């Protein structure tokens, strides 16, 4: 039966597909860690109180990258170069979403509008990450090999999403509401297109590795297009709403001391 659980199980059970999956995930997390680290270093004086939280966000992303590399090492595998069409983070940047790497690589302080753009971009992408990790947690949270990693990352992604909600609401109450809603909508509509394109690219690669028959590949492709159609029609709205989270100050303070995942 074709299901999300059976699909992930098939990818998990094959060394080559697992290697590609973890390599793609590690690359995205590492890029996110670098981006947050640079933003924390460049925040303007008006947003200086946010710097430790942004740095904590980046530290979490770096940790996630190390976790995916550790999962590869446990299987005796090395990371592989990821195909450009599967690079979610860089494709978002090419669509003008978030802060450009060129700006982050410079030494000029960011503006308050840049901070809003960063938080709006993060609110949208962390929604996706939280949902995906929730799905993996539901199916593989008790898995002997990947369960601990899945639970750890899922907890962090929920914290990141809560932090984005809380900080954007604070800025909305300070008078930035119209700008926040505009940027959120732009980010959400771009993200669902990029997510569709990356999903198609990843599934094509996985299909080649796992030898999927044409009928199965066609069914998965149709499912990805159907999800995009729903998100384009109405589903994107879940990415732009703002609600005060139950987890308040989710990224306050330094990252908790814990043994490194291995």
pLDDT tens digits, one per residue of 241-252: 999 999 899 998
Are 40 and 61 in contact by the 8 Å Cβ rule? The answer is no
Backbone angles phi, psi at 63, to 5 degrees: -60, -40
pLDDT beneath 70, residues of the chain: 1-2, 253-262
Give 227's contacts (C-beta < 8 A, 6+ positions apart): 196, 199, 235
- Whole-structure pTM value: 0.94
Are 206 and 20 in contact by the 8 Å Cβ rule? The answer is yes
DSSP notation for the chain = ---HHHHHHHHHHSHHHHHHHHHHHHHHHHHHHHHHHHHHHH--GGGGGGHHHHHHHHHHHHHHHHHHHHHHHHTT----PPPGGG-HHHHHHHTT-S--HHHHHS-SPPPHHHHHHHHHHHHHHHHHHHHHHHHHHHHHTT-TTTHHHHHHHHHHHHHHHHHHHHHHHHHIIIIIHHHHHHHHHHHHHHHHHHHHHHHHHHHHHHHHHHT--HHHHHHHHHHHHHHHHHHHHTGGGGGT-----SSTTTT-SSPPP-PPP-
- The CA dihedral of 58, 127, 191, 217, to the nearest 10 degrees, is 110
CA distance 222 to 228: 10
Per-residue model confidence (pLDDT) at position 185? 97
pLDDT tens-digit readout, 75-119: 999 999 999 999 999 999 999 899 999 999 998 999 999 999 999
Per-residue model confidence (pLDDT) at position 254? 60
Per-residue model confidence (pLDDT) at position 259? 45
**CATH code of the domain occupying 4-239:** 1.20.1260.10
Per-residue model confidence (pLDDT) at position 245? 94
Structural tokens at position 187:
């980010």
Per-residue model confidence (pLDDT) at position 102? 93
Per-residue model confidence (pLDDT) at position 252? 84
Per-residue model confidence (pLDDT) at position 172? 97
CA proximity to 95, closest of 193, 180, 224? 193
The domain ranges of the chain are 4-239
Are 64 and 29 in contact by the 8 Å Cβ rule? The answer is yes
Per-residue model confidence (pLDDT) at position 184? 98
Per-residue H/E/C for 147-166: HHHHHHHHHHHHHHHHHHHH
- The CA dihedral of 247, 132, 240, 165, to the nearest 10 degrees, is 20
């Amino acid at each position: 039966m074709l299901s999300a659980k059976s699909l992930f199980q098939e990818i998990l059970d094959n060394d080559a597909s697992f290697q590609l999956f973890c390599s793609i995930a590690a690359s995205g997390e590492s890029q996110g860690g670098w981006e947050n680290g640079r933003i924390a270093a460049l925040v303007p004086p008006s947003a200086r109180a946010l710097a430790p939280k942004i740095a904590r966000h980046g530290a979490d992303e770096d940790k996630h990258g190390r976790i995916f590399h550790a999962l590869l090492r446990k299987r005796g595998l090395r990371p592989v170069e990821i195909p450009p069409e599967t690079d979610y983070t860089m494709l978002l940047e090419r669509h003008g979403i978030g802060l450009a790497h060129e700006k982050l690589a410079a030494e000029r302080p960011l503006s308050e509008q840049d901070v809003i753009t960063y938080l709006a971009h993060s609110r949208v992408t962390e929604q996706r990450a939280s949902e995906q990790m929730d799905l993996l947690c539901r199916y593989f949270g008790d898995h002997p090999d990947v369960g601990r990693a899945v639970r750890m990352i899922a907890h962090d992604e929920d914290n990141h999403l809560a932090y984005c909600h809380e900080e954007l609401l604070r800025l909305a109450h300070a008078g930035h509401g119209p700008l926040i809603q505009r940027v959120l909508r732009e980010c959400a509509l771009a993200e669902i297109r990029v997510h569709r394109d990356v999903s198609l690219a990843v599934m094509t690669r996985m299909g080649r590795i796992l030898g999927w028959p044409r009928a199965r590949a066609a069914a998965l492709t149709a499912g990805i297009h159907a999800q995009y159609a729903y998100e384009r029609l109405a589903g994107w709205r879940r990415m732009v709403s703002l609600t005060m989270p139950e987890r308040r100050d989710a990224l306050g303070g330094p990252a908790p001391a814990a043994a490194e995942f291995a």
